[in-house]
A and B are shown apart, each in its own frame.
Chain A
Amino acid sequence: MPMAASEIERLIKASIPDAEVTIRDLAGDGDHYAARVVSGSFAGLNRIKQHQAVYAALGGRVGGELHALQLETAVPNTETTSE
């Protein structure tokens, strides 16, 4: 069942409030997305735990309702932040 990108972003931010979320609809079908999630809360967590935090935010939808979510997570990098 298709899911709106805005809904994915809302769910992630509801559980990870400081998250910067960028979502791309890969196939235009509302079912294949790529998301990049940047959050200070990921600091000290390995990649597996970071991805699990996002999966948890999406409450079991990944792998079910949401077939494909290509995921990239990162901690804000202060060195490359401009301004």
Chain B
Amino acid sequence: MSDAQSRIADIVGKNDVVLFMKGTVLFPQCGFSSRAIAILDRLGAKYETVDVLQDPEVRQGIKEFSDWPTIPQLYVKGEFVGGSDIMMEMFESGELQQLVGAEA
């Protein structure tokens, strides 16, 4: 496992809810990342974020980690959940709320 892959595995393993995104919570640098943050905030979920723009190795590595070509990517309890489209679908169906264990 490369250094980036093991670092990503470590982050995903140590954080119950973690979003790999472009930019920060306060300043998302892409509409899709912004949408992902809006969904998590709406759920009242506790989450960590990783700004891939700060780390080229993670930016590339996260795409290989889950064989997923785009960012943002959400991980819950060590499992890849999806990108912002899947997050939106799961938010609308109520599944995401259950998954992150947030209160309404």
A-side residues, CB < 8 A to B, are 47-48, 51-52, 55, 60, 62-64, 68, 70-72
Contact = CB atoms under 8 A, between A and B. Distances in A.
A63 B32 contact: no
Nearest to A72: B85
7 contacts: A48-B81, A52-B68, A60-B69, A62-B69, A63-B69, A63-B71, A68-B31
Main secondary structure of the interface of B (DSSP, over half): mixed
Main secondary structure of the interface of A (DSSP, over half): mixed
Interface of B: 31-32, 63, 66-71, 80-83, 85-86, 89-90
Contacts of A52: 67-68
Nearest to A58: B69
A55 B69 contact: yes
B72 to A, nearest CB: 12
Contacts of A64: 69
Contacts of A55: 68-69
Given A48-B80, A68-B32, A63 B86 contact: no
Q: Pick the 10 closest A-B CB pairs, nearest first.
A: A63-B69, A63-B70, A62-B69, A47-B86, A71-B85, A55-B69, A48-B82, A70-B85, A47-B82, A62-B70
